[in-house]
Amino acid sequence: MKLIDTHAHLQFKAYDADRDEVAKRNSKELEAVINVGASLDTSKGAVTLAGRFDNFYAAVGIHPHHVDQWNNKTFSDLETLAKKKGVVAIGEIGLDAHQYNDYPSPDLSAQVKILHQQIEIAQKLNLPVIFHCRDAYDELYQYIKQRQGKISGVVHCFMGTWEQAEKFLDTGFYISFTGNLTYKNNGALREIAKSVLEDRILTETDAPYLPPEPYRGTRNEPVYVKMVASALAEIKNWSLQKTIDITAQNAKDLFKIL
């Protein structure tokens, strides 16, 4: 098997100048790429890419940052989009309590409302969920715990504690790691990765964000997932090929691809 990037955003503006070139290169090098939506427009873009490249897939969803975009029509449009060929998940959706610079204070109650409605779509269509979370892992866990056995999915770009990771794992969710696993000051995150069971671990890039250590400060790409896998192999004391096989199979199992 070859590597699978379970979370990228090649439909985002960062690739407007050379999207086709980047997509072709990454399609050739990887077994699969899942491009993940964050708004209705970027969800549509992910579906478009999935229709153009055989090993590209899409996830559709409204990120908590875009809670103000949500209305009844958004719900209807998203459900219609989720039925398109190549869509393998609802996401990225979730909770974000972090206070960003030049950004309104987060409204968790509003975020929970659209989270609930999007999970309804996932359950109706029998699709897994890709969760975004920042500074709200305990709140997200309580929400998942109430629905244990009724939803499946992954907490992407995990940056919480081991105690929080363990709770998500106990509910049957996967934990995914990005290029920040390679950062020199992220020893605590590597310790968490060491403890995640091999049948519940995934690799991703979150491209164009969070490029691995050698490329920090530049635009990330799905092919750089190899560096995430290499870091994970070292952490787990696995061979690189074993790491690729495990994470690719986990992606196939969760997203029902290939």
178-196 per-position pLDDT tens digit? 999 999 999 999 999 999 9
Please choose, from the candidates 94, 55, 66, the residue with its C-alpha nearest in 3D space to the C-alpha of residue 173: 94
Query: Span 9-34, mean pLDDT?
Result: 98
Could you identify the residue written with the tokens 């992954």?
154
65-93 per-position pLDDT tens digit? 999 989 989 999 999 999 999 999 999 99
In this prediction, residue 197 carries a pLDDT of: 95
Cβ atoms of 164 and 138 within 8 Å: the answer is yes
Q: In this model, does residue 208 exceed pLDDT 80?
A: yes
- CA–CA separation, 1 and 173 (whole Å): 23
Q: In this model, does residue 64 exceed pLDDT 80?
A: yes
In this prediction, residue 105 carries a pLDDT of: 74
- CA–CA separation, 3 and 33 (whole Å): 9
Q: Is the dihedral of CA 13, 210, 173, 132 positive or negative?
A: negative
Give the domain CATH number at 117: 3.20.20.140
Cα separations in angstroms, 230 against 3, 39, 217: 11, 32, 20
Cβ atoms of 204 and 156 within 8 Å: the answer is yes
CA atoms within 13 Å, Cβ hemisphere of 100: 10
Query: Span 37-64, mean pLDDT?
Result: 97
Cβ atoms of 10 and 22 within 8 Å: the answer is yes
Q: In this model, does residue 32 exceed pLDDT 90?
A: yes
In this prediction, residue 1 carries a pLDDT of: 85
- Strands 4-8 and 129-134, bridge-based pairing: unpaired
CA–CA–CA angle 155, 160, 162 (5° rounding): 100
Q: Which residues are annotated as a binding site?
A: 7, 9, 92, 132, 156, 206
Please choose, from the candidates 64, 58, 61, 8, the residue with its C-alpha nearest in 3D space to the C-alpha of residue 39: 61
220-239 per-position pLDDT tens digit? 999 999 999 999 999 999 99
**In sequence order, what E strands does 23-173 have?**
32-36, 56-60, 87-96, 129-134, 153-155
pTM: 0.97
Portion of the chain with pLDDT greater than 70, in percent:
99
Query: Span 4-10, mean pLDDT?
Result: 98
Q: In this model, does residue 258 exceed pLDDT 80?
A: no
Q: What is the span of the domain harbouring residue 162?
A: 4-255
Cβ atoms of 105 and 65 within 8 Å: the answer is no
Q: Which residues contact 37 (CB under 8 A, 6 or more apart)?
A: 11, 43, 44, 45, 46, 58, 59, 60, 61, 62, 91, 92
Q: Which residues are annotated as a binding site for a divalent metal cation?
A: 7, 9, 92, 132, 156, 206
Find the distance separating the first CA and the last CA of the chain, reported in whole Å. 11
93-138 per-position pLDDT tens digit? 999 997 767 767 778 889 999 999 999 999 999 999 999 999 999 9
In this prediction, residue 253 carries a pLDDT of: 98
Nearest-Å Rg of the Cα atoms of the chain is: 17
Looking at the structure of the chain, the number of domains it has is 1
In this prediction, residue 107 carries a pLDDT of: 83
Cβ atoms of 7 and 34 within 8 Å: the answer is yes
- CA–CA separation, 202 and 25 (whole Å): 22
